[in-house]
Structure 1
Amino acid sequence: MGVFTYEQEITSSVPPAKMFKAAVLDADNLIPKVRPQAIKCVEVIQGDGGPGTIKKIHFGEGHKFKSMTHRIDAIDKEKFSLCYTVIDGDVLTDGVESICHELTVVPAPGGGSIYKNTSKYHTKGAEVCEEHVKGGKEDALATFKAIEAYVLAHPDAY
Structure 2
Amino acid sequence: MGVITLENEFPIAVAPSKVFRAYCLEIDTLLPKILPEHIKSCEIIEGNGGPGSIRKITFVEGKELSYAKQKLEAIDEENLTCSFSLIEANVWKDAVEKVTYEHKFVPTPEGGCICKRTSTYYIKGDAAEINKDQINDVYGKKTAGLFKVIEAYFLANPDA
Q: Which 4+ residue blocks in structure 1 deviate beyond 3 angstroms?
A: 129-133
Q: Which residue of 2 aligns with 1:99?
A: 99
- Output one character per residue of 1:90-142: Cα deviation in whole Å (capped at 9) or x when no partner: 13433211100101111112221001211111011323244454222222111
For 1:22, the aligned partner's letter is A
The yes-or-no answer on 1:143 pairing with 2:143 is: no
Aligned pair in 2 of structure 1 residues 38, 139: CA closer, same or farther (>3 Å)?
A: farther
RMSD: 1.6
The yes-or-no answer on 1:126 pairing with 2:145 is: no
CA contact (8 A) 2:106 2:113 kept: yes
Across the two proteins, how many residue pairs are aligned to each other? 157
CA contact (8 A) 2:65 2:91 kept: yes
CA contact (8 A) 2:28 2:44 kept: no
Deviation of the 1:152 alpha carbon: 1.1
CA contact (8 A) 1:22 1:151 kept: no
Deviation of the 1:67 alpha carbon: 0.8
The whole-number CA distance in structure 2 between the counterparts of 1:113 and 1:155 is 15
The whole-number CA distance in structure 1 between the counterparts of 2:135 and 2:67 is 15
CA contact (8 A) 2:31 2:42 kept: no
The whole-number CA distance in structure 2 between the counterparts of 1:132 and 1:58 is 21
Deviation of the 1:23 alpha carbon: 2.2
CA contact (8 A) 1:31 1:143 kept: no
Q: Which residue of 2 aligns with 1:154?
A: 157
Which residues of structure 1 form unaligned runs of 5+? none
CA contact (8 A) 1:37 1:62 kept: no
TM-score normalised by structure 2 residue count: 0.90
The whole-number CA distance in structure 1 between the counterparts of 2:107 and 2:135 is 29
